[in-house]
């Protein structure tokens, strides 16, 4: 996470572009109804809710696909819905809904970012379809013929461009494997190769590239280092006995944590959570993961130990929050290993998820002290992993800003959950040690860092991947208001507390948001999540609506 520059924010319309909502429709004599939320750019739905189908004993995926077949005209798709979609997964949630996640395909090729979630209740009624599809692909002349260049050529083109940007070829952590996709931007559709390059030298990066499969042109590229890639291939735990160590963190506080002890000493390995938590020492180099942290007596009180103590203990606390509060077993829901490396580089002022693990710099002592010393920073970064394995919010523009905000929201909620000097600031414990009271970001007042606190003041340029950090302030303010209440831009919000807010945002993220979600879709998704949990006429739903209205998302 990086300190953001203050920018001059452009004024724009108060209402988000996709905020048009069609009225509820019901067929005469029918028990079904629907509320359609349209994206004005594509003039297609990005959220439909209501009692969309009659009760049914059919499989949830069939209920969803049959409904989408009936709505081909609305979504502007063609052919049979079974050929338009690939079922990615089907899961049941704690409320009793079955979630079906569908990937849009065209002639068998996945459309990048075009994913729908469909919710079917216990009675077999489809209650919501969330996400936006690429319309009228059958009419795109660019899709009439297939690829003209090969995978290897696309990889070479992207690698050459990246080397030019960086000034040298990076040292990749793993091979970039091109994936054949349809890439849609501003109404244009192209067959393309999607590639992801993860590297730490000459500087950390996780670059996403799209290379036109017919011309070899680079259609888009951006650094998504804050967002995760694929889960780590895994590391092997040492043999030994599960033990409990103690140590002092970066700020001098004493903690206990799980270790594994054998004749060599005690390793910072926790085998009691998921498939394990592992903490490594980079020894001020830039190779990861480094050396598995080993201590002679299981007491880590030296100043050099502090970064490792906090990284290990706070990763366990973040795991516990998601497991105990949201029944999520690690970031992927399947017990994925949590791997951390501390003492990365020299005077390195950053912390990030590389695409497979957490990495923490020591800071330069002026801008930052060791960044693993802040629980909200660790929870922030690991929440990016949760996002990647659920909503998979694309790290650009509005979806990227929602991505960043979700990490801030849960970083703060984890801090409150463990009563770790909680507040609505991000990174205050490790940022500018010589200045008291400041932070990387304030969720209570985003303008303190030059960030917008209202959609009308959002940044609309190309810097910061389209303002992913800056525009996160809009959602951050909404989250603050939902938990605490208050009046903002003349709109009063009744606070509902952290616990309920956390449940609503977690359900919004994991059940309803999709890769290309806009702020307007985010609003209706949060309203639907609150409706599922507390009922359509609940005070919680009213507060969600007021919080988003207060920040100009209608």
- The residues carrying an active-site annotation are 381, 469
Rounded-to-integer distance, Cα 367 and Cα 75, Å: 49
Assign residue 276 a region: left if phi > 0, alpha if psi is -120 to 50, beta otherwise? left
Pairing of strands 299-300, 241-248: parallel
Rounded-to-integer distance, Cα 157 and Cα 161, Å: 6
Q: What is the 3-state secondary structure (H, E, C) of 57-90?
A: CCCHHHHHHHHHHHCHHHHCCCCCHHHHEEEEEE
Residue owning tokens 């002290």: 369
Q: Two tokens at 47? A: 């959220």
Cα dist. 106→41, 76, 225, 277 in Å? 21, 13, 29, 40
Angle at 466 between CA 462 and CA 472, to 5 degrees: 150
Residue owning tokens 């919710």: 119
| C-beta neighbour count of 297 within 10 angstroms | 10
| C-beta neighbour count of 225 within 10 angstroms | 24
Q: Are the C-beta atoms of residues 171 and 200 closer than 8 Å to each other? A: yes
Q: Two tokens at 532? A: 């599922």
Where do the DSSP E strands lie in 412-479?
425-426, 441-442
The SS3 assignment for 110 reads: strand
Cα dist. 238→192, 260, 264, 270 in Å? 43, 7, 10, 11
Rounded-to-integer distance, Cα 197 and Cα 170, Å: 9
E strand or H helix at 208: strand 205-212
Q: Are the C-beta atoms of residues 454 and 549 closer than 8 Å to each other? A: no
CA-based nearest residue to 386, from 353, 427, 418:
353
């Amino acid at each position: 996470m990086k300190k953001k520059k203050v920018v001059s924010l452009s004024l724009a319309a108060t209402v988000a572009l996709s905020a048009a909502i069609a009225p509820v429709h019901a067929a005469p004599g029918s028990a079904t109804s629907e509320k359609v939320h349209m994206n004005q750019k594509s003039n297609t739905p990005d959220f439909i809710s209501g009692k969309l189908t009659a009760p049914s004993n059919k499989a949830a995926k069939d209920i969803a696909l049959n409904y989408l077949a009936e709505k081909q005209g609305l979504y502007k798709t063609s052919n049979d819905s079974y050929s338009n979609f690939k079922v990615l997964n089907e899961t049941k949630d704690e409320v009793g809904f079955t979630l079906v996640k569908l990937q849009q395909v065209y002639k068998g090729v996945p459309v990048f970012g075009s994913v729908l979630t469909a919710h079917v209740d216990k009675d077999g009624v489809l209650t919501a379809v969330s996400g936006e599809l690429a319309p009228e692909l059958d009419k795109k002349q660019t899709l009439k013929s297939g690829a003209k260049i090969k995978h290897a050529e696309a990889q070479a083109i992207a690698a050459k461009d990246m080397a030019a940007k960086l000034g040298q070829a990076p040292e990749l952590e793993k091979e970039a494997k091109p994936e054949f996709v349809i890439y849609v931007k501003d109404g244009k559709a192209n067959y393309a190769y999607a590639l992801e390059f993860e590297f730490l030298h000459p500087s950390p990066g996780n670059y996403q590239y799209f290379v036109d499969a017919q011309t070899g042109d680079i259609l888009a590229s951006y650094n998504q280092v804050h967002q995760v890639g694929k889960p780590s291939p895994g590391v092997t735990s040492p043999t030994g006995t599960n033990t409990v160590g103690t140590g002092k963190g970066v700020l001098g506080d004493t903690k206990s944590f799980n270790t594994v002890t054998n004749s060599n000493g005690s390793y910072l390995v926790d085998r009691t959570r998921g498939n394990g938590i592992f903490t490594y020492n980079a020894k001020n180099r830039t190779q990861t993961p480094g050396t598995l942290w080993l201590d002679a007596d299981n007491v880590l009180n030296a100043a050099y130990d502090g970064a490792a103590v906090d990284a290990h203990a706070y990763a366990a606390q973040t795991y516990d929050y998601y497991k105990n509060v949201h029944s999520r077993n690690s970031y992927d829901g399947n017990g994925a290993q949590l791997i951390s490396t501390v003492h990365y580089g020299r005077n390195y002022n950053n912390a990030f998820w590389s695409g497979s693990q957490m990495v923490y710099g020591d800071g330069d002592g002026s801008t930052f002290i060791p960044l693993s010393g802040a629980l909200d920073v660790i929870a922030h970064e690991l929440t990016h992993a949760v996002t990647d394995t659920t909503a998979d919010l694309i790290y650009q523009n509005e979806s990227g800003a929602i991505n960043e905000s979700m990490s801030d929201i849960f970083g703060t909620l984890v801090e409150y959950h463990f009563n770790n000097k909680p507040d609505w600031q991000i990174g205050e414990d490790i940022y500018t040690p010589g200045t008291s009271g400041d932070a990387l970001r304030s969720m209570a007042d985003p303008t303190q860092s030059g960030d917008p606190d209202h959609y009308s003041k959002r940044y609309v340029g190309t810097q910061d991947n389209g303002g992913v950090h800056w525009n996160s302030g809009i959602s951050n303010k909404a989250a603050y208001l939902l938990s605490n209440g208050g009046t903002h831009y003349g709109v009063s919000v009744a606070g509902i507390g952290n616990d309920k807010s956390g449940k609503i945002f977690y359900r919004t993220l994991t059940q309803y948001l999709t890769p290309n979600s806009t702020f307007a879709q985010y609003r209706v998704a949060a309203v639907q999540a609150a409706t599922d949990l507390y009922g359509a006429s609940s005070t919680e739903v009213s507060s969600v609506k007021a919080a988003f209205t207060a920040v100009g998302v209608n």
